[in-house]
Amino acid sequence: MIIKNALEQIEVLVRNLKKENNMERLLCYSAVITIINRIEDITKEERIPNYVIYKNDLLESCEKICNLEDNTGDVGQLIGKALVAIRNLKSYQCFNVDNHHI
């Protein structure tokens, strides 16, 4: 699996959370978790800087959108926060997907 492609697919799933009903949101969240777990399997031998922080930001936002956590925020804002986390995962501060073929 190519990390850049995996993160782009997670981004597609997160963007679709806004228009989905709760059942479909949970399915999208399950897909996000599956991809994240696969990324962790691939990179378990490497120390990826800031990965845990950005991953937790992404999952926390998704959990709130799916009503798995208390949701006091606007879904649009939570999706924005999740997208920022994905951007951070792609950045040079983490996977640096534009300069590496992982």
Output the pTM of the full model.
0.88
Closest CA to 33 of 4, 76, 62: 62
> Degrees (nearest 5) of the Cα angle 2, 57, 7?
15
Q: Which residue would you say has higher pLDDT here, 94 or 34? A: 34
Q: Which residue would you say has higher pLDDT here, 63 or 1? A: 63
| DSSP per residue, 19-58 | GS-HHHHHHHHHHHHHHHHHHHHHHTTS--TTHHHHHHHH
What are the backbone dihedrals phi and psi of residue 78, each rounded to the nearest 5 degrees, phi first? Answer: -65, -40
pLDDT tens per residue, range 29-86: 999 999 999 999 988 888 888 889 999 999 999 999 998 988 777 899 999 999 999 9
